[in-house]
Amino acid sequence: MADSLWSSILGATAVPLGLIGLFATERGGKFVSNASRSVRATFRPNDGQVQLCTWDEVPLGPVHVCTDPRSSYCHGKQHVGGPLCWEDTFLTLLNQWNPLMPHHINKKPAYLPMAKSFLQIEYKLLLSFIFLSARGTIRSNYRQARNTFEFGQAKINIQEVRSDVLFIHLEGVMEDSFTKKHLENLINGHPPFIDEGLAPGVNVHRAGWITALGMKEPYEEKTTFLPIYSDQIRYERGTDKAKRGYVFWRSMDRVYRILVEVWAVAFSSDSDALKDIQIAIKALEVIRQHETESGVEHILKLTTSPLPASPQLEQKIIEHFNGKPTLNESEGPGFRAEWRPALRNVLEAATTGCIRCIGYFKNGGREIEQIFGPTWMKKLRESDLYLRGCPKQT
């Protein structure tokens, strides 16, 4: 009788004891965790899903359209802490991406807590947010902490969850909306103009946009340039001094070549014109050698009287500097006759554009790559990125 009772007790406890042993192993722990997540996802499907926002799904045209005339209720809404705070930052600034549309819905990976909400985004979308919200001064102490970065008004906090997974927390408001095309250009290293119409159809390989910048009036750096830019352009200058800003150097060097190889050659027999051209060339040589505009104003004293530039002439100058930096000998007489009346306009546009460029980027700290640093840049490009709520909430 006693043996029979003892056998029954052992049988009743065998399964629980076996489960306890299973729980104690790593494999068993994963089994229980996965089972728990599966059960939760069954009863609360949203907890088991994560939405993916892709660059391709952002429609062409403006990425933000105001929903309220009061900016503080729309793109100027200040950050409010919470588990879904990205809705008032990221989704407000890029509100033409509609999260209610049937976008990518993926099963939530095991490394994402079931009880927390996330939005997966692509690298281009993170940079878009930075460009949209980066206003104000980029301070020299732009890096608040090891994993927190400031871009003017924008603040990015990064948490490395795994070698290929990053959690991102965003703060920032927007002043101006950009089109998707303009954002893509900025991401790819185009000149960081706020007004994408400053140099329509800008060719970053040519120099027309430099002269467009030089003819912009009135000019103020903070209303012309974003405080940051993506230093993506690679260009061999033939010197090891310049380490950044190649989108500027490539076009500024082309301006120099056109003045030396076209204008100085074409006007070699016109002493008055040649004197002004050589002054402009000397000013650009100072900029190229010392990588600063300081002192150039003492050199740049042109003698030719200027003429008011019509919109047609301004466009003609831009197109000329978008052209080839060569001139055939047979083209010389026609070139002199065509351009002699506009000589001062051309030289002022070329030199002023270069002066404004070097004044903008001569001091480091504006490059997104420099602010993040090479290690974080590599991780941001190669990892899965998830927007999360405020750190204290997650």
What is the per-residue pLDDT across 303-347, written as a single tens digit (0 to 9) for each? 666 677 899 999 999 999 999 888 888 888 999 999 999 999 999
Q: Is the peptide bond before 218 cis (omega within 30 degrees of 0)?
A: yes
208 sits in which H/E element: helix 208-214
Amino acid present at 274? L
325 sits in which H/E element: none
Decide the pairing of beta strands 384-387 and 165-171: parallel
**pLDDT given at position 391:** 63
Q: For residue 387, which phi and psi values (nearest 5 degrees)?
A: -75, 135
**pLDDT given at position 308:** 79
Radius of gyration of the chain (CA): 30
**pLDDT given at position 364:** 80
- Give percent helix, percent strand, percent coil of the chain, each to the nearest 5: 50, 10, 40
Give every residue of the chain whose pLDDT is below 70, as ranges. Answer: 1-47, 69-77, 99-103, 137-145, 237-243, 302-306, 391-394
**pLDDT given at position 39:** 45
Amino acid present at 103? H
Amino acid present at 60? L
**Tokens 């080839």 belong to which residue?**
324
**pLDDT given at position 177:** 84
Q: How far apart are CA 369 and CA 375, in angstroms?
A: 10
**Tokens 């192993």 belong to which residue?**
25
Q: What is the DSSP string of 241-283?
A: S--S-HHHHHHHHHHHHHIIIIIHHHTTT-HHHHHHHHHHHHH
Domain borders along the chain are: 48-178+371-393, 196-227+231-366
**pLDDT given at position 166:** 96
Query: Are the beta carbons of 353 and 318 closer than 8 angstroms?
Result: no
Q: How far apart are CA 123 and CA 128, in angstroms?
A: 9
| % pLDDT > 90, the chain | 44
Give the closest residue to 128 by CA, choosing from 393, 375, 361, 387: 387
**pLDDT given at position 100:** 61
